[in-house]
């Protein structure tokens, strides 16, 4: 069984959006604002800098009792001692990730359709990420947006924690939660925010009204 985690406010990092502040500083501020889970997403870093960044963020996250997940790269997750890995449909298999990282690792899987969600039901994963819910400029290689109805449909198929990602912001987040999502995966709405701490607080307030 994986270690416990709270998917409610799930920050996915983006180096470009962090700008001169740097990823670590934005993550630190966002954690102060109430982020409950962090995913390090790096598409251009070489292996060693990626591992170093993961270790740095792990220390920052663990200081506040929050797990760190690494996007895509099972080897980096293992080398850095991260708490788990988030996989896409074309990444390493769930079985390979579980074998490498062990039973305690948090393993998440993106699904881009109801069919993929149905196929994920039997997999040894800890949460499903419905992606993308809305159109988003942060990731341009995704499927057509699922919309709120897609979130509802996937919710009906699984009792695993369901995270929504893609175009989530303070204006639509409550609707996403009401559609059945357990968590909000946020990129630009926090990473690019002038005040990441306050941006995170705005999302956390939704927990009390949901």
The catalytic residue among 41, 58, 98, 155 is 41
The catalytic residue among 28, 58, 98, 110 is 110
86 forms bridges with which residues in the sheet?
A: 71, 108
110 is catalytic: yes
Nearest to 117, CA basis, from 181, 36, 210:
181
- Cis? peptide before 132, omega within 30° of 0: yes
The catalytic residue among 15, 56, 118, 139 is 139
70 forms bridges with which residues in the sheet?
A: 40, 85
Nearest to 161, CA basis, from 111, 113, 94, 200:
111
41 is catalytic: yes
144 is catalytic: no
CA distance 162 to 175: 14
Residues marked as catalytic = 41, 110, 139
């Amino acid at each position: 069984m994986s270690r416990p985690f709270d998917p409610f406010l799930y920050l996915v990092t983006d180096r470009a959006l962090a700008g001169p502040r740097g990823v670590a500083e934005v993550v630190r501020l966002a954690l102060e604002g109430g982020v409950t889970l962090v995913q390090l997403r790096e598409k251009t870093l070489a292996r060693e800098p990626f591992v170093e960044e993961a270790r740095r963020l792990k220390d920052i996250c663990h200081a506040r009792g929050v797990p760190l997940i690494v996007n895509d790269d099972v080897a980096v997750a293992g080398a850095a001692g991260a708490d788990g890995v988030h996989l896409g449909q074309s990444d390493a298999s769930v079985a390979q990730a579980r074998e490498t990282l062990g039973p305690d690792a948090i393993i998440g899987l993106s699904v881009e359709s109801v069919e993929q969600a149905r196929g994920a039901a039997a997999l040894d994963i800890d949460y499903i990420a419905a992606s993308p819910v809305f159109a988003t400029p942060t990731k341009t290689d995704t499927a057509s947006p699922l919309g709120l109805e897609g979130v509802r449909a996937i919710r009906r198929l699984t009792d695993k924690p369901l995270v929504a990602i893609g175009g989530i912001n303070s204006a639509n987040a409550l609707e996403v939660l009401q559609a059945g999502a357990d968590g909000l995966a946020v990129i630009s709405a926090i990473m690019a925010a002038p005040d990441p701490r306050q941006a995170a607080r705005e999302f956390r307030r939704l927990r009390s009204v949901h």
